[in-house]
Structure 1
Amino acid sequence: MSEKNKEQFIKRNKLGILSVLRDLKKNNTLIMINHARGQFISRILEVDSDSNQMLFDLGGVEYENKLALEAQSLNFIAEPAGAKVEFSCGRITETLFESLPTFSCEIPAELYFIQRREYFRVNIPLHAAYTCQGKFDDENNFDLKLKDISLGGLGLHVDHPMSLPIERGATIHNVTIDMIEFGSFVLDIEFISAFERPTINNKGETVLQQRLSFKFPHLSATQERDLQRAIFELEKMQHEKARRFQED
């Protein structure tokens, strides 16, 4: 979304901002926090309007927490049900909350609350063994590679285009999405579309490949939280691999 289009979703009213942050805390919503030297996953622990401070979890790696403390600014992204929330803060400090170390920052002066769902989508390398397995209505099983995934849905990769025994809007129940180290998920998916495109294989030959697009018709709060964590962790892993590649 362009900055111009995002302006219609900005909140600057203090009470409105506090309401959004407290909902994130109440629902234990995961938050991806980015800064110039890294990123980590967190959640809001407390929103204190009197001190104008927001408390949030440290990351799971001590070195990442050190980098976050040194950062001049941090960006927060959360995707609660039906919306996307974005905001930033300046330097953070480390304090205690319920006798445990935590981060603290000023409550943001402005916040984007994007009610029109625009999910963060992470692309998946074809060499990764992440798959989606299920059964079409004609009882034929399928086992296809994940091409990309978000909280909104997923794309599947087909090496050799096939005739599909499914129509737009049809739901396939209880497919298994296997993301190996990030977990396995049993969900329903609704078919959106399929399209073919030419590509060059490793032999230099032009071949047709197919992409199947599905959306998640509904996710429970638990499914959404667990899937969001997997997506965040996958994006974080890819970011770290890209950074190491640039450093080599």
Structure 2
Amino acid sequence: MCRVVDLQQSVLAKNDEYAQRLRADMAARGATVVNLLSSPGSGKTALLELELSTARQRGLTVAALTADLATENDAVRLARSGAPVKQVLTDGLCHLEARMLAGHLDGWLPEATRLLFVENVGNLVCPASYDLGESLRVVLASVTEGEDKPLKYPTAFGLAHLVVVTKTDIARAVGFDEAAFRANVAQVNPGVEVLLTSARRGQGVGALLDRALAAGDGAEVHRPVMAVPSAHHHS
């Protein structure tokens, strides 16, 4: 058992090194990385498409990299925004790693890019432990997923700089208890902002973009009580 934990520590420590290097490289070129994590089907692709379109309308230079185990469906959808988009197929790996991300950005990311949105693999377990050199880590959950989601995935929600609720247009129909959800988020990540959105109705669209731009401009980002991701594997 110790050997497995030690190996995991080693893998995460190496990832953290790459992440710090990538963060410094991106900062040097004036780009900000936003890491989007959620379960499959949360609606993050629909919201991201609108955020990219909004950015383009504002004249901002943005790009997106989307990761999946298979298919290029999400990249096709995101490309409709007009922003540069790259699909990463992970060949069965349930998360992105900093080294992998850096390799895909090399020679591809347009020079003047101000914001890079990374749509991580749909999974709230594996991706939570890997720093991608992001300046803003966003965890999304739809109203259909249940108010106890933050308690079931405390690492993912506990390390978030921002929590986004999606599909609020059907909240009443599915009996979503917003107060209970907020209380559960606060239990694992006190003080983190919870943003309500609906891609269908346009609610909250542009707000994620604003938070990302602020983070890139040096605004104070919420500091989770939890330690850095790799610390969760030290015990």
TM range, smaller chain:
under 0.3
Query: Which has the greater radius of gyration?
Result: 1
Structure in which a larger fraction of residues adopt helix: 2
* Structure with more of its chain in strand, by fraction: 1
Normalising by structure 1, what TM-score? 0.27
